[in-house]
Amino acid sequence: MYCKKIHALINSYIDGELPGKLKEEIRLHLESCPGCKQLEQDLRALVIKPLKESSLKEPPADLWFKIKAAIEKPGPLTSFVDQIIAGINIVFPLRKPVLAFAATVLITVIAIVLAIGIPYNSRETTAMDLAEQAEFIYSLDDAASVYSGNGFGLGTAIEEFLL
């Protein structure tokens, strides 16, 4: 086995992350190659050992109290939003909150539409609209007559035809 291949696999070898046959091949190579053996020893002593020997660090003693305080006293907005989300989750026990929210919005829109009715659906509203539109067209006609009567016309054939 070439030294270059050993260099590529030496970390996995040290970490015990190689299959048995390959591990044995590397072990035999290390016994016969001083350069590769030195690399293995250096990695173990200068890089891995200091990290492995570093002790577990404990967080500051007051950290738990900070976390507990943050849990027990959420901000008013967060609390309100959380309550809404919790309510939605009870009604729609969907795994994705987005889907639950979308379902809620959809149902709310349908409920509003059913409660107040679709706009322009009543006969009174339609009749009012038609009257307003007729009034508007009539006013346009008036304006056109005024302009043409006071010499504002352009003298075109279409104007003559219409007026």
Partner 1 sequence: MQEIPKDTLTLAQQGDIRAFEDIYRTSSGFVYTLALRVTNNRQDAEEVAQDVFLKVYKNIRKFRFESTFKTWIYRITTNTAINAAIRRGRRAMREIEYNDNIQHTHGYEPQQEKIEKDEKEQIIKSMLETLNPKQRSCLVLRDIEGLSYEEISRTLKININTVRSRLKRARESLLALRKKGVIKNVL
Q: Which stretch binds partner 1 (CB under 8 A): 57-65, 103-111, 122-130, 149-157?
A: 57-65
Query: Least distance (Å) from partner 1 to the CB of residue 7?
Result: 8
Other C-beta atoms lying within 10 Å of the C-beta of residue 5: 14
Number of alpha carbons in the 13 Å side-chain half-sphere of residue 28? 8
The pattern of x and - marking residues 66 through 105 that bind partner 1 according to CB under 8 A reads xxx-xx----------------------------------
* Residues 37 and 30 sit within 8 Å (Cβ to Cβ): yes
Other C-beta atoms lying within 10 Å of the C-beta of residue 29: 19
Q: Residue 74 or 117: which CB sits closer to partner 1?
A: 74
Q: Residue 53 or 124: which CB sits closer to partner 1?
A: 53
Position 45 contacts partner 1 (CB under 8 A)? yes
Distance CA 45, CA 51 (A): 10
Binder to partner 1 among 17, 31, 159, 160 (CB under 8 A)? Answer: 17
Position 54 contacts partner 1 (CB under 8 A)? yes
Between vectors from CA 78 to CA 72 and to CA 83, what angle results, nearest 5°? 90
Q: Which stretch binds partner 1 (CB under 8 A): 5-13, 19-27, 110-118, 132-140?
A: 5-13
Position 63 contacts partner 1 (CB under 8 A)? yes
Between vectors from CA 27 to CA 21 and to CA 28, what angle results, nearest 5°? 95
Query: Least distance (Å) from partner 1 to the CB of residue 50?
Result: 6
**Tokens describing residue 70:** 């943050």
Sign of CA dihedral 132, 137, 140, 145: negative
Position 155 contacts partner 1 (CB under 8 A)? no
Position 11 contacts partner 1 (CB under 8 A)? yes
